[in-house]
Amino acid sequence: MLEQAFPSEGSTGEYRPDPSEVEVPRLMGAGLAGVETAGEMTREEHIAAVHAGELGSVHSWELVTAVDGPGTRLSVFFAGCGLRCVYCHNPDTWKMKDGTAVLAEDLLKKIARYKSVFEVTGGGVTFSGGDPSMQPAFLGRLLRGCKELGIHTCVDTSGFGGASFSDQMIDDMDLVLLDVKSGIPEIYQQVTKKSLEPTVRFGERLNDSGIPMWIRFVLIPGVTDSLENIDAVAQIVKKWGSVHRVEVLPFHQMARDKWRALGMEYTLDAVEPPSKPMLEAARSVFRAHRLDTY
- Between 85 and 178, name the residue whose CB sits nearer to ligand SF4: 85
The 3-state DSSP class for residue 78 equals strand
Cα 222–Cα 204–Cα 19 angle in degrees, nearest 5: 75
The continuous run of DSSP H or E covering 191 comes out as: helix 185-192
CB of 220 to ligand SF4, least distance (A): 11
- Between 59 and 141, name the residue whose CB sits nearer to ligand SF4: 59
243: contact with ligand SF4 by CB under 6 A: no
The Cα 120–Cα 187 span in angstroms is: 42
To 10 degrees, what angle do helices 276-288 and 227-237 make?
40
- Between 80 and 123, name the residue whose CB sits nearer to ligand SF4: 80
Strands 213-219 and 175-179: parallel
Interface characters, 150-189, with ligand SF4 (x: CB under 6 A): --------x-------------------------------
Which residue in 52, 74, 79, 85 binds ligand SF4 (CB under 6 A)?
A: 85
- Between 37 and 157, name the residue whose CB sits nearer to ligand SF4: 157
The Cα 215–Cα 253 span in angstroms is: 22
Which residue in 32, 83, 104, 219 binds ligand SF4 (CB under 6 A)?
A: 83
81: contact with ligand SF4 by CB under 6 A: yes
- Between 145 and 162, name the residue whose CB sits nearer to ligand SF4: 162
CB of 80 to ligand SF4, least distance (A): 9
131: contact with ligand SF4 by CB under 6 A: yes
CB of 194 to ligand SF4, least distance (A): 9
CB atoms within 10 A of CB 117: 16
Residues 264-293 that bind ligand SF4 (CB under 6 A): none
Torsion of CA 66, 71, 141, 62, to 10 degrees: 50
CB of 84 to ligand SF4, least distance (A): 5
The Cα 61–Cα 75 span in angstroms is: 5
Which residue in 70, 99, 123, 130 binds ligand SF4 (CB under 6 A)?
A: 130
Single-letter code of the amino acid located at 248: V
- Is-contact 155 173, C-beta < 8 A? yes
Stretch binding ligand SF4 (CB under 6 A), from 102-110, 114-122, 125-133, 145-153: 125-133
Q: Which of 48, 86, 46, 78 is nearest to 61 (CA)?
A: 78
281 Cβ partners below 8 Å, 6+ apart?
none
Cα 289–Cα 291–Cα 292 angle in degrees, nearest 5: 150
Residues 88-107 that bind ligand SF4 (CB under 6 A): 88, 90, 93
Give the binding site for ligand SF4 (CB under 6 A).
Answer: 81, 83-85, 88, 90, 93, 129-131, 158
